[in-house]
Amino acid sequence: MTEDATLVTIELGERGYPVRIGHGEVASVGAQMAALDLGRRALVVTNAAIARRYAHPLLDSLDAAGIEAGVAEIPAGERYKHLGTIEKIWSAAMARRLDRHGVLIALGGGVVGDMAGFAAACYYRGISFVQVPTTLVAMVDSSVGGKTGVNFHGKNLIGAFWQPNLVCADLDTLASLPTRELRCGLAEVIKHGAILDLAMFERLESAFVTRPERGGLRLTAKVSLSPDTARYSVVRSCQLKGQVVAADERESGQRAWLNFGHTFGHALEATAGYGKLHHGEAVSIGMVLAARLGVLRGDLEASDAQRLEAVCAAVGLPTKVPAGTDPEVVFAAMGRDKKAREGQMRLTLLTALGQATVAADTPPEMILSLLRQACVET
């Protein structure tokens, strides 16, 4: 078991849970589950590539803790995030005779986590669920907060709020993550700093812009993610997201801040064609556009928008819309956002670095004009 794990507790009363962040955490999952008395029969949901690297230490730890477990391998990728895959998870759970005391363990990124969580939410009307995130996106965002689901006629339109009982984030797994996926995770980390924590934003600025880090995981020819900054990013993101979720689990208020950059981002992702722009890349461009909109509205200093853009660019994230993007198509896609209410677009915007707001009163012509300008600048 790891000695050096940092513990973040998500304060949701009876549904609260520990998030452990450290090195070698995959091998401690069994002991942690046993300590929480989560169940004696489990199914690990993962994909073949992740299983090859990390299933063995996980299964060994479950065995050592007296937890009988099998593996359900699901196909990798966002295009398999659908109900057909959920059915496969349920069938595997039935085949292993998991009952309402059984546990689903998600070993992987956000795709695996969102689906295993949704499968757990419905199986026997809801069973225990453990997140073992192996991407930076999953460590800093998707494994915490209980949003689970699949794509159906649109992204994540079928799902449930279903909190995990335990999250074990193993920083060692980031070593095998492709650089592009690492950068995508940093987009969500930068987002957390931009909306909630100026000190965190400034620490990222220092690590990537002012005194670029070398050593650790390579991000660009000039910039790396050091072990210290990686750990800080995961711990602080889980603390910040945990506080927001504890105060507003069902997104009736401040949780919408976590969507900063996402209304522009989702629309860009959809218009580029899913898979072309990765989610974190779309969020990076979306945050830059949302910050510029804040400046146009007179809510945000231009220098703050520039600082945000500089951090995203420094880690190698895109900050400009892809060449050939049609502003009218992006604008139309933004109107279909989940947050829109009665045709009114609701955008999360910054009022300062570390402070956000949700505004429904931006004139549509202002958004369209910003998009037209951005599409000329590509």
Q: Give how far Cα 6 sits from Cα of 190, 196, 322, Å.
A: 21, 21, 39
Nearer to ligand NAD, 262 or 292 (CB): 262
114 binds ligand NAD (CB under 6 A): yes
Please give the Cα distance from 203 to 224 (Å, whole number). 14
**Contact window for ligand NAD (CB under 6 A) among 91-99, 132-140, 230-238, 260-268:** 132-140
**Contact window for ligand NAD (CB under 6 A) among 35-43, 140-148, 207-215, 304-312:** 140-148
Catalytic residue among 81, 147, 192, 278: 147
Is 259 considered catalytic here? yes
Least spacing, CB of residue 188 vs ligand GLY, in Å:
8
78: left (phi over 0), alpha (psi -120 to 50) or beta: alpha
Q: What is the 3-state secondary structure (H, E, C) of 31-42?
A: HHHHHHCCCCEE
Is 23 considered catalytic here? no
Among 76, 333, 340, 358, binds ligand NAD (CB under 6 A): 76
Q: Which does 255 bind (CB under 5 to 8 A by kind): ligand NAD, ligand GLY, none?
A: ligand GLY
Find residue 43's DSSP bridge partners.
70, 104
Is 188 considered catalytic here? yes
Q: Under DSSP, is residue 135 helix (H, G, I), strand (E, B) or coil?
A: coil
DSSP track, 319-375: -SPPTT--HHHHHHHHTT-TT-BTTB--EEEEEETTEEEEES---HHHHHHHHHHHH
Q: Would you tell me how many other CB atoms lie within 10 Å of the CB of residue 317?
A: 26
**Structural tokens at position 359:** 């505004």
Q: Which does 50 bind (CB under 5 to 8 A by kind): ligand NAD, ligand GLY, none?
A: ligand NAD
Is 125 considered catalytic here? yes
Q: Which does 58 bind (CB under 5 to 8 A by kind): ligand GLY, ligand NAD, none?
A: none
**Structural tokens at position 192:** 């957390």
Straight-line distance from the first to the last Cα atom of the chain, in angstroms, rounded to the nearest whole number: 49
350 binds ligand NAD (CB under 6 A): no
Least spacing, CB of residue 119 vs ligand GLY, in Å:
18
Is 262 considered catalytic here? yes
| Phi, psi dihedral angles at 36 (to 5 degrees) | -90, 0
Nearer to ligand NAD, 35 or 157 (CB): 157
Scan for tokens 């057909």, then name that residue.
Answer: 84
Nearer to ligand NAD, 279 or 292 (CB): 279
The residues of the shown chain that bind ligand GLY, judged by CB under 6 A, are 141, 145, 147, 255, 258
Catalytic residue among 20, 231, 236, 241: 241
Give the residue from 348, 365, 345 showing the smallest Cα distance to 356.
348
Is residue 311 within 8 Å of 209, Cβ to Cβ? yes
Catalytic residue among 25, 151, 165, 188: 188
Nearer to ligand NAD, 93 or 111 (CB): 111
Just list the catalytic residues. 125, 147, 188, 241, 251, 255, 259, 262, 266, 279
Interacting residue ranges for ligand NAD, rule: CB under 6 A? 47, 49-50, 76, 78, 81, 108-112, 114, 134-135, 137-138, 141-142, 145, 147, 156, 173, 176-177, 181, 184, 279
